[in-house]
Amino acid sequence: MIEGRDIICFANDWDSDPLSKKHVMTRLARHNRVLWVNSLGVRNPTVSARDARRVWEKLRGFLRGCRQVEDNLWVFTPVVIPFHGSAFARSINRRLLAFMLRRVCRRLGFERPITWSFVPSSSGVVGRLGEQMVLYQCVDEYSEFRGADKGAILRMERELVERSDLVIVSSEPLLEAKRRFNPATHLVTHGVEVDHFRRACDPGTAVPEALQRLPRPVIGFFGLLADWVDLELIRRLAIERPAWSIVMIGKIDTDVSALRPLPNVHLLGPQPYATLPAYCKGFDVALVPFVVNELTLAANPLKMREYLAAGLPVISTDLPEARRLTGLVRIAHGHGDFIAAIEDVLESGGGPRASVSAAMDRESWDAKVEEMCRLVAGAAPSITRKAARECLAS
């Protein structure tokens, strides 16, 4: 583990569900100081109530200033112009962000920080904060998100990749894509909070009442319900197997009107992260029902390892990162194959098993962050040599 460093992290919003970014940074904050910079966004805003609320939340967060949320960890919400395709907006953002972050870093006493970015939209400011190192951790193909300015995101990301001293990616497709622009690109797959999700195997964990009253079997999913979830697949499962209870847990960010009339589909909304193991205990089978496109082919769904740490049988769309877990994750092609795979699992009982959870012991977030820290330490000598050459050249 690296120690005694100051880290500026560009990521999603701190108060959202714990994604890979938060798992990484909370562990680094045990031995380092971290300034978490809330989302700079990848989507162009629209004239909608939702985006108006988001603008208000950003302004309110900015007015709160830099706040400490944990030991060694502070959160700052910057104000930026969210039109990444505009050269003028990018120029203003670069100057504004640099000014705001330098001021915050002075107040916190940050010196020679590591910039550890998860978002392409940080490209304009990284390398301009007096850093000793720039690291880009890529966990998604951001240009493929709905509403993103694809051309602008690709340009910003390439600039960030080329400027970085080290690039870490979470999937094989991302490794192939980013290594073309920076040979110092390495694969570190997602981890999982094994002990947390293993509570699903604990006899003392109570299944939530919302699941207790449902007819069995319970076919479960948790995560953001967005356009990458194959809702037509879910609808077909529900129609063709009306005796199954299909449970969908998570914030709804897409049109689910086709599911609402189905009596055996249960949209439970977002649930606290702390309660997810209890919900997993009530699942017989867990699904990763993604559509197949450029976004999902590059993804490494965090929920796959979380399901497995909970001991659940997992059935997934054919994704490269699902294939890496062959033997633990069963891959299905189309709704008929999904039905057959679920029925095959149910014949053997389904539900959490300690033996499945044990397979995740070497996939913990602690182990993954240690692996990342070894890469950071290994990159340090080359950064020193690069700085020396630049000094001599000047």
Nearest to 339 by CA among 223, 238, 259, 249: 238
Kindly state the average pLDDT of the residues 264-285: 97
pLDDT tens, residue by residue, 126-159: 999 999 999 999 999 999 988 888 998 999 999 9
Q: Which residues of 239-269 are buried (b: 16+ CB within 10 A; e: fewer)?
A: eebeebbbbbbbeeeeebeebeebebbbeee
43 pLDDT more than 80: no
Average pLDDT for residues 333-347, to the nearest whole number? Answer: 95
Evaluate whether 113 touches 105 at the Cβ level (below 8 Å).
Answer: yes
| Lookup result for tokens 């690039």 | 167
pLDDT level of residue 53 (50, 70, 90 thresholds): low
User: What's the pLDDT score for residue 41?
Assistant: 58
Provide the 10 A C-beta neighbour count for residue 149: 18
361, pLDDT greater than 90: yes
Q: Which of 163, 156, 157 is CA-nearest to residue 133?
A: 163
**pTM (two decimals):** 0.89
Is the model's pLDDT at 75 over the cut of 60?
Answer: yes
Pairing of strands 67-70, 73-76: antiparallel
- Domains defined along the chain, listed by start: 6-191+364-393 (3.40.50.2000), 194-358 (3.40.50.2000)
> Backbone phi, then psi, for 85, in 5-degree steps?
-80, -10
**Structure confidence by residue, pLDDT tens digits, 212-251:** 999 999 999 999 999 999 999 999 999 999 999 999 999 9
Nearest to residue 249, comparing CAs of 214, 284, 275? 275
Residue 263 has pLDDT above 70, yes or no: yes
> What mean pLDDT comes out for the span 100-106?
94
Q: Which residue has the higher pLDDT, 96 or 294?
A: 294
Taken in order 340, 299, 43, 67, the sign of the CA dihedral is positive
| Per-residue model confidence as pLDDT tens digits over 365-385 | 999 999 999 999 998 755 544
Residue from 105, 129, 35, 106 nearest 77 by CA: 35
